[in-house]
Amino acid sequence: MKRFLLVLLAVIAVAIAGLMYHVNTNFNRSVDDQYPIPDITVEVDSAKIAHGKYLALGPAHCAHCHSPIESLPDVEMGKEVDMTGGFVFELPIGTLHSPNITSDVETGIGGYSDGQLYRMLRHNVRHDGRICLELMPFFSMSEYDVESIIAFLRSLKPVKQARPDHEYNLLGKVVRTFALKASEPTSEPPAFVERDSTIEYGRYLSEAVANCRGCHTNRDLKTGAFIGEPYAGGMVFEDASTQYWRYVTPNITPDPETGIMSNWSETQFIERMRGGRVHVTSPMPWGPFSRLDDTDLKALYRFLQTVKPIKQDNTPHVTAPAEKS
């Protein structure tokens, strides 16, 4: 019996060692063979640059995550800052650092091809073939909007500012090895989407550009998988470095009892969005969203009124350290 246990322990030890070797050699694997860099050259013109700027500083909120943390107050106030990265995401899988996306060749995206940038926006696959966590859900964005963002990024002045690479813990390496996959469009991305105040355009903005669903739906922060009802909120953000421990995203479905905006008129919704940040620790990029034009805000409001009502009370949204359960 003793010999059997020793053999069993040895087998388990070898299996664990083999598993760890597999994880450590595959968590940063390249998927170039599955997602080759597309041969794309973006035709740049002033209209695309202007539209890309509106998206990047507004609904797509690139400036919110790709600006230095110390510059976020300026981003909130609508000032244009150098998008040199520096935002830090502390997640169960490790620490993620947003990169420099100015046109600097050494530390930014100046040395990347249009195809590499397109693949990143469409599939969350980096220039070097590694898969990224789905923090930029632009995989269903129209071709014109993707090209416009690329055109705008190309217009940014180069700023030399190196940023550290992502730092994955053991859990993160395991997730990346066995669970993380490149993003795929939910359907064939449209060539162009006409901007208007319709429900359909609001759906497009919410799910392909602004990522309303991404934060107002509960998710597994280890894998990014959706685990809650769409738009019913409940996703928990925690940050021990601030005066608050937790922020729980509100329910924005039209449920009359628990939907935070169920009784708002279109005018009240626009006024609230224009009003900007109320809770210091709210993860919502209030600065960029407060500068959406009326067409986009009307479209978002009209779409959100059509989603399935879900009874789910997520209060209190903000919990102070002393109140943390």
| Mean pLDDT rounded to a whole number for the chain | 91
Angle between helices 143-155 and 114-123 (to 10 degrees): 130
pLDDT > 90: percent of the chain: 71
Instruction: Indicate whether 110 pLDDT > 60.
Output: yes
**Average pLDDT of the segment spanning 235-259:** 82
Of these ranges, 233-237, 268-272, 285-289, the one predicted with the greatest mean pLDDT is 268-272
Domain chopping of the chain, boundaries: 46-178, 199-323
Instruction: Indicate whether 158 pLDDT > 50.
Output: yes
175 or 310, greater pLDDT: 310
Banded model confidence at residue 324, pLDDT cuts 50, 70, 90:
very low
The amino acid occupying position 62 is C
Banded model confidence at residue 56, pLDDT cuts 50, 70, 90:
very high
3-class SS shares of the chain: helix, strand, coil, % to 5: 40, 10, 55
Instruction: Indicate whether 143 pLDDT > 50.
Output: yes
pLDDT > 70: percent of the chain: 96
C-alpha count within 13 angstroms, C-beta hemisphere, residue 214: 20
Q: How many CB atoms lie within 10 A of CB 259?
A: 25
**Average pLDDT of the segment spanning 239-268:** 86
3-state secondary structure 293-317: CHHHHHHHHHHHCCCCCCCCCCCCC
Q: What is the pLDDT of residue 166?
A: 93
Instruction: Indicate whether 242 pLDDT > 60.
Output: no
CA 133 to chain centre: 9
* Short-list 115, 291, 323, CA closest to 210: 291
Give the angle subtended at the CA of 258 by the CAs of 254 and 263, to the nearest 5°: 50
**Average pLDDT of the segment spanning 75-90:** 90
Let me know: does 129 contact 32? Beta carbons within 8 Å.
yes
Banded model confidence at residue 89, pLDDT cuts 50, 70, 90:
confident
Let me know: does 67 contact 87? Beta carbons within 8 Å.
yes
Banded model confidence at residue 239, pLDDT cuts 50, 70, 90:
low
pTM over the 0.75 mark: yes
**Strand residues in the chain grouped as ranges (E):** 88-91, 94-97, 167-168, 236-238, 246-248, 318-319
Q: What is the pLDDT of residue 325?
A: 43
**Average pLDDT of the segment spanning 277-281:** 82
Dist. CA 57–CA 75, nearest whole Å:
9
Let me know: does 140 contact 207? Beta carbons within 8 Å.
yes
Banded model confidence at residue 280, pLDDT cuts 50, 70, 90:
confident
Residues 6+ apart with CB under 8 A from 95: 88, 89, 166, 167
